[in-house]
Amino acid sequence: MTAVTPLLAPDILYLFNHGRLFHAYRTLGAHMHVSDGVAGVRFAVWAPNARDVRVAGDFNGWAGEGCSLARLGTTGVWAGFVPGVGEGAAYKYEIVGADGRTRLKADPYAFRSELRPGTASIVARLDRYRWQDGEWAERKRRHPPYERPMLVYEAHLGSWRLDAPERFRTYAQLADELVDYVASMGYTHIEVLPLTEHPLDRSWGYQATGYFSATSRYGPPEGLQALVDRCHARGIGVILDWVPGHFCKDDHGLRLFDGTPLYEPADPRIAEKPLWGTLAFDFGKAEVQSFLISDAIFWLDVFHLDGLRVDAVASMIDLHFDKPPSMHVLNRHGGSENLDALDFLRKLNETVFRYFPDTLMIAEDSSAWPGVTSPTYLGGLGFNYKWNMGWMNDALRYMETDPSQRSAKHSLLTFSLLYAFSENYVLPLSHDEVVHGKRSLLNKMPGSYEEKFANLRLFYGYWMTHPGKKLLFMGGEFGQFDEWKDAEGLDWVLLQYPLHEAMQRYVRDLNALYAAEDALWERDHAPDGFEWIDADNAAQSVLSYVRRARDPRRHLVVVCNFSRQSYPAFRIGVPTGAVHRVILNSDAPGYGGTGCRVPRQAKAARKPLHGQPFSLEIPLPALSFLLLEPERLAVE
């Protein structure tokens, strides 16, 4: 069986070699092809320093000697047509490296992979699914996200529900169960942990080998396409956790792909990621840029995803990130910034928005790098959202503090408003905060069993009314008590217990209220969408503020009592003299609260307070969140 060299257009290879081939998955990899009337597969792979490249598979007894590919000039690409090979064939590249050693490598551009522990690539087509989401795409085009509600449910598909160890729900099952559940809870988006093929379950997908291959753990790639389509039919966007920062060192993966550092930098001080035991990509290499940017485009194009959450941006842009001094290197200007990574991120975002202008590009960035969500033409990195890690760390530190000590840490809740509008923020309560001994959100809360639930309901109210879009990891909505166990399913049995069932009801109602009230999201990124009533009441651990819609007359009043003290009559300033209706009370009996009586409405009086022309008096239960709406707005 001899490979015949196919014609690959020189202009395509030129773009690839210059970091400008943004649909490289249409050329490289394994593609079914007909040559002179004979059906087979065209293989193409980049291995510039290899001595020889052959295709070994189940169609030739895994002996590649008779299936050598041809080197295409100085492009570094090897290609060939193998007749008689069809869809479903398993294969690898047999690469004789520059060092003379032969390595079996999975195809970096493969569309499908074997289920682990198998590591072979599989010939596959991804063009058969008939999408039904045209209406969704048009709606997304008409309504940019900035002034729309965004409430994201973060999920790990392998542990959302499990019947038994490693008995995963399939994409097809999740298209019914997960999507219906997320829709019933009122979320606007699902964010899934990485779905690129990966060898180790416990890496959660963050250490990949198949960047164009949806993991086979949950079924064929068409199942994922149907899952996304079903989400869109239910009005739910889909965001993929995408990992361009590093890759695993498994022998069949990208490491030393042609016997030399190819996808990784040659300098091990830059290449090595000691925190994770992985390797960084060489962001300055043109062909690596074509690979990674094409991968981003691939998921948006072939799987109709609505956004990418770009993982570990801080580790990409800092040459010293979590490295000992012995591994420190400086850039050409004498700084520690990874200039190649910064240029890559700008190019990535420019390219994505050129092809898919309605995409969400979200940076998971713990650094203080300025302008992450500013346009590249203004010197920014060009994302349209950034996770607010500072808010998350401060808010959780505060909530973990016993209420008796919170007055000394009051600024942890208020500091975020000093920078809340410097970027377009998402407020994340993600999987990272409920693993590795950090405890679940519920179990972070101090106090008695009942107080834990009261604290969490209060915290969710503060989170939902703070400027910024929202993200919650699965299980948080019903008060998962144990931290996330990635090899097991969520503890759905907890819904048999009243306080957990009440927590789920509270979150569902809070989600619905968020979606219905434009004051909670329409001006998320503008200072005039937020106004303090009283930010300085540390002594009583009480916060009060106003959230405003685009029409400033449309507003909500928020009161949060983070103390154990109840106040039968608590007075706050308000902007108008209207009757204010309590539209959510976290202490209500139906949510598991104490039932401390709070009237359904209160009339403001012309008694100026807190810099406001009016004020009103309400009972304020301990550890409670109250949301009030001027009555005249509610009946418009």
Catalytic residues: 311, 364
Pairing of strands 70-71, 52-57: unpaired
Token match 């060299």: residue? 5
> What are the structure tokens assigned to 557, written together?
């009043």
**Residue 401: exposure state from Cβ atoms within 10 A (0-12, 13-18, ≥19):** middle
**One-letter amino acid for residue 69 of the chain:** L
Q: How far is CA 314 from CA 318, 342, 345, 391, in A?
A: 6, 10, 12, 16
Of the candidates 313, 311, 304, the residue with the CA atom closest to the CA atom of residue 356: 304
All residues at 6 or more sequence positions from 68 whose CB lies less than 8 Å from its CB, including other chains: 2, 3, 52, 53, 54, 80
> What are the structure tokens assigned to 353, written together?
């928005």
Q: Are 351 and 292 in contact (CB under 8 A)?
A: no
Q: Are 111 and 124 in contact (CB under 8 A)?
A: yes
Q: Are 35 and 2 in contact (CB under 8 A)?
A: no
Q: How many CB atoms lie within 10 A of CB 462?
A: 19
> What are the structure tokens assigned to 370, written together?
């300025």
In whole angstroms, give the CA distance from residue 192 to residue 308: 10
> What are the structure tokens assigned to 262, written together?
């190819």
In whole angstroms, give the CA distance from residue 539 to residue 621: 16
Q: Are 225 and 129 in contact (CB under 8 A)?
A: yes
Of the candidates 410, 406, 366, 370, the residue with the CA atom closest to the CA atom of residue 390: 366
Token match 């190819």: residue? 262
Pairing of strands 567-574, 90-96: unpaired
**Torsions phi, psi for 546 (to 5 deg):** -120, 135
> What are the structure tokens assigned to 315, written together?
């580790």
In whole angstroms, give the CA distance from residue 236 to residue 233: 7
Q: Are 398 and 406 in contact (CB under 8 A)?
A: yes
Q: How far is CA 114 from CA 27, 30, 44, 108, in A?
A: 22, 15, 19, 13
In whole angstroms, give the CA distance from residue 312 to residue 74: 34
Token match 């101090």: residue? 446
In whole angstroms, give the CA distance from residue 280 to residue 259: 17
**Torsions phi, psi for 9 (to 5 deg):** -60, 130
| Rg, the chain, Cα only | 27
Q: Rounded to the nearest 5 degrees, what angle is found at the Cα of 511, between the Cα atoms of 189 and 585?
A: 165
In whole angstroms, give the CA distance from residue 599 to residue 345: 52
In whole angstroms, give the CA distance from residue 327 to residue 300: 36
- If you write DSSP's letter for every residue of 578-621 in order, what string do you get? SEEEEEEETT-GGGT-------SEEE-BS--BTTBSEEEEEEE-
